[in-house]
Amino acid sequence: MLWGVATSSYQVEGGIEHADWNAFERRLGPDFTGAGAACGHYQHALSDLTEIARLGLSAYRFSVEWSRIEPVEGRFDQTALDHYRQVVLSAREMGLEPVVTLHHFTLPEWLARQGGVLEPHFPSRLERLARLVGSALPAAWWVTINEPMVLAVMGYLTGEWPPGERSLLRTRRAVTALVEAHAAAYAVLKETGRERKVGIAKHLTPILPHRPANLVDRTGSLVQHRFFNLDFYRRTRGCHDFLGVNFYARSYARGLSGVRRSRPGEAVSQMGWVTDARDLTAVLDWLRPSGLPVLILENGLATTDERLRSAYLHSHLMALMQARRSGLPVAGYLYWTLWDNFEWREGWGPAFGLCPRPAEGARFAWRPAARLLARAAASDGEDLGSDPG
């Protein structure tokens, strides 16, 4: 099983200037602190990998930044490609299995200006990126798109992320474009390496009725579950070598389309999310019938309470190992994330990291949860110690 940690380019690299999020941050006004220099990971990538390997992990998930590779339409930057190739080669030398994400929320600004995901040629543009990056990077594990449903909903339904729209029709179109883009990128990545494992990172969340006895909330929970959790997998059947899962928390349906993060009085994380490892068990049970290996690509807690972070990790690993013992093929577990990093619209507030944001002279100050993950990695999940909670 792979044991590792996951990051994404815009959230940690620093110095990205031509992505749609750069422009969106400017729209949020001068009080919003954007990604900026982030965690300086682009500059320090190789020494950062050394530290991750030294902790005893066996996998590292990262994303390539499209706006670095293709800063101008049709013009590709060899230096950026060489950088990511070096990351893959070095990771492998250090015993870290690279898991490469092609698209993790950000788009080059030129593409966003042309319509982004809804630009009619979006699928073939992602396919072209997949061909280029797929040929250059000798990695075995690939994620074409990170959380396509979250991208579509946040960008086109709630308008909280770029391009900031609020239209159900355009949300549906965005989902269709992402379905086609995944299928195209999947085919190309398999063409450039038959033995590769290719999938997506699918955000999965049990959606419970906010008011358990309310019929409309109950119907809403079923409708939303179908739309948010199941549809993308259903529409891309046959284009997954593994089921990539990002799991954080449950959510609630209020009415047919309303969403709530918690019920009154419930304990929540810094993101306002209610966490319970039994929800991970439920999610894993949905995936059993597919027979495909499950790879947890993200799982983590935003908190400043390290005892809570360790307890979250411990309980979720217990749930995962229980599922493995009962026959679920589990390919790996990657914690989200390495450092406290740029958390999109929430900026720099939420602390998801195994380490605080890098500071001068201290890029890695491992928190207790990192030791727990290392212990799990060393024993392949057999020894998780006692419950830190």
Give the full edge-to-edge strand order of the sheet including 258-260. Answer: 207-209, 251-254, 258-260
Contact stretch for ligand BGC (CB under 6 A) within 146-154, 168-176, 217-225, 378-386: 146-154
- 343 scored as a contact of ligand BGC (CB under 6 A): yes
Nearer to ligand BGC, 157 or 216 (CB): 157
Among residues 1, 8, 197, 208, which is the contact residue for ligand BGC, using CB under 6 A?
A: 8
In terms of CB distance, is 163 or 300 closer to ligand BGC? 300
**In whole angstroms, how close is the CB of 191 to ligand BGC at the nearest point?**
27
Structure tokens at 91: 């990771």
Closest CA relative to residue 280, chosen from 234, 314, 327, 254: 314
Identify which range of 142-150, 179-187, 232-240, 369-377 contacts ligand BGC by CB under 6 A: 142-150
Mind spelling out the 3-state secondary structure of 305-327?
Answer: CHHHHHHHHHHHHHHHHHHHHCC
Minimum distance from residue 244 beta carbon to ligand BGC (Å): 11
The answer to the question of residue 150 lying near ligand BGC (CB under 6 A) is yes
Region binding ligand BGC by CB under 6 A among candidate stretches 135-143, 145-153, 220-228, 368-376:
145-153
Retrieve residue 351's tokens. 């602390």
Interface positions, 170-209, toward ligand BGC (CB under 6 A): 203
* H or E segment and range at residue 39: none
Question: Which of 76/227 has CB closer to ligand BGC?
Answer: 227
Token pair 């049990």 in the structure block, residue: 206
Beta-ladder partners of 355? 339
Q: Is 97 in the site for ligand BGC (CB under 6 A)?
A: no
| Residue in 13, 70, 109, 147 binding ligand BGC, rule: CB under 6 A | 147
Q: Coil, strand or helix: which one is 67?
A: helix
Q: Which pair of structure tokens corresponds to residue 289?
A: 């019938």
- Other CB atoms within a 10 A radius of the CB of residue 292 amount to 17
Question: Which residue, 101, 98, 160, is CA-closest to 126?
Answer: 101
Residues binding ligand BGC (CB under 6 A):
8, 11, 146-147, 150, 203, 246, 298, 336, 343
